[in-house]
Amino acid sequence: MENVQTIEPLITNNTVIVGILMTILGLVFYTSGIKNPFIQKFYDIFPPLLLCYFLPGLLNSFNVFDGENSPLTTIGSRYFLPACLILFILNLDLKEMWALRKRAGLMFITGTIGIVVGGPLAVWLTSLVAPEVVDGIGPDAVWRGLGSLAGSWIGGSANQVALKEILQPSPHLFSAIIAVDAFVAYMWMAILLYGAGQSKKMDALLKADSSDVDYLKKKAGKKSQRKC
């Protein structure tokens, strides 16, 4: 087996990396509040959340720093994320959130059914046109990997690992599925973040009724003003 030489990232000091990330976030949110027509037009096209997601990823892709092997990922997920979630829900009106259970629940159920039914249907349709794409024997059978992928999309990484143990795809197939999962997840996340900044236009295009969510936002905003 040939030794693969890894390229050292440009910045390895975690303190410097945190400073860069905080600077990026600060600049994005500061500039997004500037009342300048050109800047506002720019952020109408590229929402601040999308840039907060995209710019650090760009630095990682160009090997400025290595996010995969950095302890900052673990620190962020174990400490910063729970703290942010607690701060986020402090201002939520749980009673009003519960009132959205029917629409939100229907949305999640529809998405789950779409994956459970759509996955096998897509494999079957592909087998009619290009059977070599979805073939494989034993542990290399493509459906085993796609089953674990469906688990990830329905219930996250824990479900994916559980279905991997049940379906037993080969390591090569499972590695390919993880790559597909990461690619689709990042692309879809970028689309969602962009759509969040264009919510009014998207609602008008899809003729969606967001009155319940808008009411909840306004109520949460008034509650924050009273606390301040």
pLDDT per residue as tens, the chain (228 positions):
344 456 788 888 888 988 999 999 999 989 988 888 888 888 877 778 778 878 887 888 788 888 777 788 778 777 887 887 787 777 666 676 676 667 777 877 888 888 888 888 888 888 888 888 778 788 888 888 888 888 888 877 777 878 888 888 888 888 888 888 878 877 887 787 777 777 777 777 777 777 766 666 676 666 555 555
47 within 8 A of 193, measured Cβ to Cβ: yes
72-92 burial: b if 16+ Cβ within 10 Å, else e: eeeeeeeeeeeeeeeeeeeee
- Enter the pTM of the model: 0.53
Q: Of 7, 72, 51, which Cα lies nearest the Cα of 197?
A: 51
Query: Using one digit for the tens of pLDDT, what is the confidence trace for 54-66?
Result: 888 788 878 888 8
Range list of β-strands (E), 60-188:
none
67 within 8 A of 75, measured Cβ to Cβ: no
Task: Give the separation between CA 173 and CA 142, rounded to whole angstroms.
Answer: 7
- Rg of the chain over CA atoms, in angstroms? 22
**116-119, long-range: CB < 8 A, 24+ apart:** 116/150, 116/154, 119/146, 119/147, 119/149, 119/150
Query: Using one digit for the tens of pLDDT, what is the confidence trace for 142-188?
Result: 888 888 888 888 877 777 878 888 888 888 888 888 888 878 877 88
Distant-in-sequence, close-in-space partners of 174: CB < 8 Å, separation ≥ 6:
145, 148, 164
Joined together, the tokens standing for residue 228 give 């301040």
